């Protein structure tokens, strides 16, 4: 059998991205819009996007920064706080502003200081979300420092996720950026209302990547990459064809200086070559026929949105990823910096 040399799929979407704001947003946005028709935009700005008005204004800033001729729709999310008003969520959904709401356990990750201190605090909000059909997106890590950082996702399943899906059996829940076999198995065992996104980095690297010959801050994100067997489990579900698993890059740009520091930020900037990166994984797994489902079909089906019109075509061939990318004056080191990827966009 000869390996295919081009792959055409329906235009994909990114179901989890950090676009930031201001000049940096203007610098990173085109990378996402080049590849994806829509993206679920994370609300962890400072201050967080927790109201309909704030999300509407943020959406307008994104649209204003979009280069002319690019076709891209940002799907906005609400940052859940302990004091979130359930009616604000219902109104945001009714007015077509909120596509989902995001649960950050307080202090779990970058920009989560205003997050939820106890899931019980947002039970009225979750009740309302279940009623109106607004999906819950979960950063699934416990914040308890007694728990080993590599176990925080698995422990979150036991301490929070299991009960949450029991208490809200009709709530749509996305377990975001899963990193463990435990999460892959948990999601697989649930009903169709529970799904997961998977990032390119968690399909490519295991935790050793952070320590190759020294400390590698550009391989650090949260949830942190885990052991090799976890990576293999993620690959297995990603290419399985199961509609529960879909593309979400978690592209999280930080300036080089904020990463290469005594206390470097968590986040991997994978937006510039995300699709090429994922395609390589599906190719390596002999599962290119499953890529369209993961990238372009499962997400819309879960969210109840139409699939995109139009297609994108990738071709086999070297794509050299630059060492740095300038985001409107802010230098950022992209995922795969200095590597040559085996697939590129066909011009």
* Residue 304 per-residue DSSP state: T
Q: Of 187, 186, 195, 218, which is closest to residue 205 (Cα–Cα)?
A: 218
Q: Are 107 and 115 in contact (CB under 8 A)?
A: yes
Please say whether the beta carbons of 21 and 46 come within 8 A.
no
SS3 223: coil
Work out whether 249 is an interface residue with ligand NCD (CB under 6 A): no
H runs (alpha helix) in the chain: 22-35, 52-65, 86-94, 123-132, 152-156, 162-167, 181-189, 200-204, 228-238, 256-259, 274-284, 291-292, 298-303
Q: Which does 298 bind (CB under 5 to 8 A by kind): Zn ion, ligand NCD, none?
A: none
111 contact, one of Zn ion, ligand NCD, none, CB 5-8 Å limit per kind: ligand NCD
Using CB under 6 A as the binding rule, the residues of this chain from 261 to 290 that contact ligand NCD are: 266-267
Q: Which of 12, 105, 111, 293 binds ligand NCD (CB under 6 A)?
A: 111
What are 82's two structure tokens?
């302990």
Quick check: 77 binds ligand NCD (CB under 6 A)?
A: no
Task: Indicate whether 153 belongs to the interface with Zn ion (CB under 5 A).
Answer: no
d(CA 254, CA 260): 10
Picked from Zn ion, ligand NCD, none, the partner binding residue 109 (CB below 5 to 8 A depending on kind) is ligand NCD
By CB under 6 A, which span of 7-15, 33-41, 105-113, 160-168 interacts with ligand NCD? 105-113
Query: Does 144 qualify as catalytic in the annotation?
Result: no
250 is an interface residue for Zn ion by CB under 5 A: yes
CB of 347 to ligand NCD, least distance (A): 31
> Which of Zn ion, ligand NCD, none does 287 bind, CB closer than 5 to 8 A by kind?
none
Q: Out of 32, 77, 109, 193, point to the residue binding ligand NCD (CB under 6 A).
A: 109
**Is residue 221 a contact residue for ligand NCD (CB under 6 A)?**
yes
Query: Cα–Cα distance between 114 and 301 in angstroms, integer?
Result: 31
Written as six digits, the tokens of 129 are 């979300």
Q: What x/- string results for residues 126 through 155 when contact with ligand NCD is judged by CB under 6 A?
A: -------------x----------------
Question: Helices then strands (H, E): number in the chain?
Answer: 13, 13
Q: Which of 13, 14, 182, 250 is catalytic?
A: 250
- Of 272 and 288, CB closest to Zn ion: 272
Nearest C-alpha neighbor of 217 from the set 264, 150, 255, 253: 264
- Name the pairing type of β-strands 6-10 and 14-17: unpaired
Give min distance, CB of 250 to ligand NCD, in A.
5
Catalytically active residues are 250
Binding positions for ligand NCD, rule: CB under 6 A: 18, 44, 109-111, 139, 221-222, 250, 252, 266-267
Binding positions for Zn ion, rule: CB under 5 A: 250
């Amino acid at each position: 059998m000869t390996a295919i040399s081009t792959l055409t799929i329906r235009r994909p979407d990114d179901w989890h991205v950090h676009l930031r704001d201001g000049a940096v947003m203007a610098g990173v946005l085109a990378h996402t819009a080049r590849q994806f028709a829509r993206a679920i935009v994370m609300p962890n700005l400072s201050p967080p996007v927790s109201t309909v008005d704030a999300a509407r204004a943020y959406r307008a800033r994104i649209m204003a920064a979009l280069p002319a001729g690019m076709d891209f729709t940002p799907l906005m999310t609400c940052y859940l706080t302990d004091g979130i008003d359930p009616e604000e969520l219902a109104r945001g959904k009714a007015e077509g502003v909120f596509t989902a709401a995001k649960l950050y356990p307080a202090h779990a990750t970058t920009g989560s200081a205003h997050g939820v201190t106890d899931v019980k605090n947002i039970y009225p909000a979750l009740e309302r979300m279940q009623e109106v059909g607004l999906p819950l997106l979960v950063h699934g890590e416990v914040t308890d420092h007694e728990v080993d950082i590599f176990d925080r996702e698995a422990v979150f399943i036991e301490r929070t996720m299991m009960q949450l899906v029991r208490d809200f059996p009709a709530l749509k829940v996305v377990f975001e950026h899963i990193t463990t076999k435990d999460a892959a198995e948990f999601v697989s065992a649930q009903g169709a209302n529970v799904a997961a996104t998977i990032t390119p980095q968690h399909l490519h690297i295991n935790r050793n990547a952070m320590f190759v010959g020294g400390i590698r801050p550009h391989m650090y994100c949260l949830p942190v990459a885990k052991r090799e067997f976890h990576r293999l489990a993620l690959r297995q579900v990603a290419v399985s064809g199961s509609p529960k698993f879909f593309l979400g890059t978690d592209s999280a740009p930080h300036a080089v200086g904020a990463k290469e520091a005594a206390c470097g930020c968590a986040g991997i900037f994978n937006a510039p070559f995300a699709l090429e990166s994922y395609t390589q994984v599906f190719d390596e797994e002999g599962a290119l026929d499953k890529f369209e489902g993961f990238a372009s079909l499962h997400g819309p089906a879960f969210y109840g949105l139409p699939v995109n019109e139009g297609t994108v075509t990738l071709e086999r061939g070297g794509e050299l990823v630059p060492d740095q990318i300038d985001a409107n004056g802010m230098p950022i080191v992209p995922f795969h910096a200095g590597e040559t990827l085996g697939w590129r966009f066909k011009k």
